Amino acid sequence: MVEKKDKLIIAGREFTSRLMVGTGKYESFKQMVTAIEKSGAEIVTVAVRRVNISDRSKESLLDHIDLQKYTLLPNTAGCYTADDAIRTCRLAREAGLSDFVKLEVLGDDKTLFPNNEELLKAAQTLVREGFTVLPYTSDDPIVCRKLQDIGCAAVMPLGAPIGSGLGIRNPYNIRIILETVTVPVIVDAGVGTASDAAIAMELGCDGVLMNTAIAGAKDPVAMAEAMNMAVRAGRLAYLAGRIPKKLYATASSPLEGVIE
């Protein structure tokens, strides 16, 4: 089986699953835990936020995530400057004792598109400080190349705006990114349903990261399973090598021996 030996390697760490999932927007911790399990993901993203010191009734997210089983990928969601993102990453490392970070520096709150100038600045500092940086970026091959040159462990171009569910809007850019960089390319954001995830993988991407597509589905647990299958199916189809597209038909049955 070609799939069995096929591992995702990020900064020297080996992962079997190519699907990464978020932990936001679930109805309950129980639903989140089941959905993550069904997704087969080994890397889960989390956000860093202030503890509500006046209301201590809230449980800690980490009480529900088995850290023997999952690698935490803290994000810098909500950061609009390099300084804020760097500060958040330092806090995340202290809280989680791991140096993996999903670096996002946003440009505005309507599109949640990355501010690539600030992103590059933050990436530079964080790589220097020893972080394993996985940046959420525009689907721009030049920015991706710059992120790789800085020393990011992967690049994570968006397929479409965060939470939009529009799918992979520019597969050609993703293909160019795949030819431009040698670090893993993980499509982060935009996936709406299983076929979107499969398309990303069929393009040759190394992984897909999603949150809303699963947590926002009518049945998040079933969608998590669908995404698990889609990512594996897409990867296998990529490795198997698809047939070229042609305008006209080619018969599947022999042309000889047709009755007359």
Partner 1 sequence: MKIIVNGEEKSITGMTVFEYLQTLDIDPRPLAIELNREILPKNNYKTTMLREGDQLEVVWFVGGG
Which parts of this chain interact with partner 1 (CB under 8 A)? 22-26, 32, 45-51, 53-54, 56, 60-63, 72, 74-75, 77, 87, 90-96, 162-163, 189, 209-212
Least Å from the CB of residue 47 to partner 1? 3
Least Å from the CB of residue 56 to partner 1? 5
Of 104, 122, 218, the C-alpha closest to 161 is 104
Rounded to a whole number, what is the largest CA-CA distance in the chain?
87
Nearer CB in complex with partner 1: 45/116: 45
> Which whole-number Å values give the CA distances from 86 to 102, 141, 153, 175, in the listed order?
11, 24, 16, 30
Q: Quick check: 23 and 44 in contact, CB under 8 A?
A: yes
Cα separation of 117 and 120, whole Å?
5
Least Å from the CB of residue 78 to partner 1? 9
Nearer CB in complex with partner 1: 36/146: 36
Q: Quick check: 26 and 215 in contact, CB under 8 A?
A: yes
Nearer CB in complex with partner 1: 48/119: 48
Least Å from the CB of residue 25 to partner 1? 7
Q: Annotated catalytic residue: which of 38, 102, 121, 146?
A: 102
Residue corresponding to tokens 């499969």: 198
For 191, phi then psi, to 5°, come to -65, 135
Q: Which residues face 208 on adjacent strands? A: 19, 187
Q: What is the DSSP letter of 41?
A: -
In our burial notation (b when 16+ CB lie closer than 10 A, e otherwise), range 24-41 reads bebeeeeebbebbbbbbb
Nearer CB in complex with partner 1: 58/245: 58
Residue 116 structure tokens? 């690539």
Nearer CB in complex with partner 1: 168/215: 215
Least Å from the CB of residue 184 to partner 1? 18
Q: Quick check: 142 and 124 in contact, CB under 8 A?
A: no
Any catalytic annotation for residue 102?
A: yes
Q: Which residues are catalytic?
A: 102
